[in-house]
Amino acid sequence: MPIHIGGYDLSFTNSALWMLVSVGIIAAFTIFSMRGRAMVPGRWQSSVEIFYEFIANMVRDNTGPDARRFFPLVFTLFMFIFFANMIGLFPYAFTVTSHIIVTFALAGAIFLLVTITGFVLHGPKFLGLFVPQGVPVVLLPLVVGIEVISYISRPISHSVRLFANMLAGHITLKVFAGFIISFITGLGAIGWIAAILPLLMIVAITALEVLVGALQAYVFAILTCMYLRDALHPSH
């Protein structure tokens, strides 16, 4: 739950701590699991390889075979968001991705990367992205306007989607957890029994949140892939 201590300007905060925890866990997971470099993988190595191939396929299918150089970025993004979401489910842990500034910084960075890559690779031709083919000339200004707006609103939708999902889920958890406490403190013995209901809800919502967390990490990564494809092949 985003119980957060805002620091003074750049102090080391709860959020920063949990970011570094995610980084540590991911690094440990990906590096130590592969230490054996076994021909026949063990459980840990296998799971790392599943992540790797999953993201590799995603990048290849959605961005194209020439997008190998963006693979580490997408992989890092997916792992970071995935693990941040999962870690956020633990009690007392902090969900980094439930803060709009974090997701917006990520989405904005991707937006800038896509735009810069597009212009570097294709120069002015990158603007052709906003001019769909086969549109009547009369409609062209309108369509181009819509395309530009949708392009610019990408980082907003990209970041708000992840942020809102994580925030909503965790608030729901928090609310139900609050019910348990208020039942117990407010109703005494009956409250202990009544508290079972919100507890069951918490179990169910936690399961749902695991799904949502994974799904949102996936969505974030796949959208990044698609934006990158626009940068690599704007004519499409």
Q: How far is the CB of 118 from other proteins (least distance, A)?
A: 21
DSSP class of residue 69 equals G
Cβ atoms of residues 184 and 191 within 8 Å: yes
Chain residues 103-162 in contact with other proteins, contact rule CB under 8 A: 105-106
Closer CB to other proteins, residue 62 or residue 97?
A: 97
Is 102 an interacting residue with respect to other proteins (CB under 8 A)? yes
| Residue written as token pair 């001019």 | 131
Is 48 an interacting residue with respect to other proteins (CB under 8 A)? yes
Q: How far is the CB of 127 from other proteins (least distance, A)?
A: 29
Is 37 an interacting residue with respect to other proteins (CB under 8 A)? yes
Closer CB to other proteins, residue 72 or residue 186?
A: 72
What is the distance between the alpha carbons of residues 42 and 62, in angstroms, rounded to a whole number?
29
Length of the chain measured in residues? 236
Which of 42, 72, 132, 186 forms a contact with other proteins (CB under 8 A)? 72
Closer CB to other proteins, residue 101 or residue 207?
A: 101
Which of 61, 65, 67, 98 forms a contact with other proteins (CB under 8 A)? 98
**208 Cβ contact partners less than 8 Å away, ≥ 6 residues apart:** 169
The residue among 199, 198, 212, 217 whose CA lies nearest residue 170 is 212
Which uninterrupted H or E stretch holds 145? helix 140-152
What is the distance between the alpha carbons of residues 169 and 112, in angstroms, rounded to a whole number?
29
What is the distance between the alpha carbons of residues 21 and 84, in angstroms, rounded to a whole number?
9
In the complex, which residues of this chain contact other proteins (CB under 8 A)?
A: 1-13, 15-16, 19-20, 22-23, 26-27, 30-31, 34, 37-39, 41, 45, 48-49, 52-53, 71-73, 75-76, 79-80, 96, 98-102, 105-106, 163, 167, 171, 174-175, 178
